[in-house]
């Protein structure tokens, strides 16, 4: 759990149910942009829109003003399911015990060359 201060009413969960909010608050969307073919979509940022169509159009104006994209994905922030760092050690102790997963764990004689 993030250390939200419960006394601060501004701090609401990220996945707050938008439909119960006031009439004019537009939901938040996450925007992913493929900058050119051959590359994966990358998280560009977020914005507000009333529906998916508007989110794509707004993303075009907000995040591709300088020709940064060939394809746009949008997803409502509330629909994103994220892993939760429930165990506080998660952050501070990365899985560095499985060193056999890293190429530098293996010794290749220099005369073999680059591998």
CA dist., res. 25 & res. 17, Å (int): 11
> In the range 16-75, which residues lie near other proteins by CB under 8 A?
16, 19, 21-26, 28, 45-51, 53-54, 57-58, 61-62, 65-66
Which residues touch 111 (CB under 8 Å, ≥6 apart)? none
CA dist., res. 22 & res. 19, Å (int): 8
Q: How far is the CB of 72 from other proteins (least distance, A)?
A: 14
Residues that bind other proteins in the complex, under the rule CB under 8 A: 2-5, 8, 10-14, 16, 19, 21-26, 28, 45-51, 53-54, 57-58, 61-62, 65-66, 82, 84-85, 88, 91-92
């Amino acid at each position: 759990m993030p250390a939200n201060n419960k006394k601060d009413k501004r701090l609401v969960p990220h996945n707050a149910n938008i439909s119960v909010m006031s009439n004019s608050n537009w939901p938040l969307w996450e925007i992913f942009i493929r900058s050119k073919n051959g590359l994966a979509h990358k998280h560009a940022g977020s914005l507000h829109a009333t529906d998916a169509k508007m989110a794509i159009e707004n993303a075009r104006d907000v995040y591709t003003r300088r020709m940064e994209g060939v394809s746009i994905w949008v997803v409502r922030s509330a629909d994103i399911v994220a892993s939760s760092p429930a165990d506080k050690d998660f952050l501070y102790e990365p899985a560095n015990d499985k060193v056999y997963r890293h190429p530098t764990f293996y010794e290749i004689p220099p005369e073999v060359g680059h591998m």
